[in-house]
């Protein structure tokens, strides 16, 4: 689908299941791909949404409104993008100004809330790894419906 990525690290789907996001750690790029179907990129459906400077993009999560949150490895922060890939905000981790917790690597948005949990390592800084909390713009994107019907797909229920 999207070949020859340089150290691809993050991937996320938007709430409409048509926007597919991918990062290239090795080239500091954020790709936004519009899907025509499960395995086909729509005509004129692939774009570089953002080119990062400095250390590279890590993992990412999407919220129910289509906003994207990306851990920036080596900078101790999480960048927030709108559904079009425009940077709209950031979360700065405590201690980053002193060189601590710069290795922000992954995160989760708690279902039913706008609570973001971020894991970051201090590397050789002596403070170990820490989980931080922040608020995001919208609730978590529910990717697997939990109704128990056994027929659910991503984001929707086909059952009872």
Mean pLDDT by 10 residues, the chain (160 residues): 88 92 94 93 92 89 96 95 96 96 93 95 93 96 63 53
Q: What pLDDT sits at residue 128? A: 95
Cα dihedral sign, 149-155-117-52: positive
Secondary structure (3-state) at 43: strand
Q: What pLDDT sits at residue 17? A: 87
Q: What pLDDT sits at residue 22? A: 95
Q: What pLDDT sits at residue 103? A: 95
For the chain, the residue count is 160
Query: Looking at domain 8-135, what is its CATH homologous superfamily?
Result: TolB, C-terminal domain (2.120.10.30)
For residues 152 and 42, what is the distance between their CA atoms, to the nearest angstrom? Answer: 26
For residues 99 and 74, what is the distance between their CA atoms, to the nearest angstrom? Answer: 9
Q: What pLDDT sits at residue 2? A: 86
Q: What pLDDT sits at residue 156? A: 55
Q: What pLDDT sits at residue 159? A: 53
For residues 135 and 35, what is the distance between their CA atoms, to the nearest angstrom? Answer: 29
Q: What pLDDT sits at residue 147? A: 62
Q: What pLDDT sits at residue 51? A: 94
């Amino acid at each position: 689908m999207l070949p020859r990525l340089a150290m691809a690290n993050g991937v996320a789907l938007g709430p409409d299941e048509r926007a597919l996001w991918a990062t290239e750690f090795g080239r500091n790029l954020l790709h936004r791909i519009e899907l025509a179907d499960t395995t086909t990129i729509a005509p004129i459906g692939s774009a570089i949404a953002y080119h990062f400077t400095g250390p590279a993009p890590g993992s990412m999560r999407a919220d129910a409104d289509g906003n994207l949150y990306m851990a920036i490895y080596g900078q101790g922060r999480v960048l927030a993008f709108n559904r079009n890939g425009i940077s709209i905000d950031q979360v700065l981790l405590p201690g980053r100004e002193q060189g601590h917790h710069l290795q922000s690597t992954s995160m989760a948005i708690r279902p039913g809330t706008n609570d973001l949990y971020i894991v970051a390592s201090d590397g050789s800084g002596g403070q170990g790894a820490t989980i931080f909390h922040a608020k995001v713009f919208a609730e978590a994107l529910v990717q697997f419906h939990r109704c128990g019907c056994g027929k659910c797909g991503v984001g929707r229920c086909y059952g009872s």
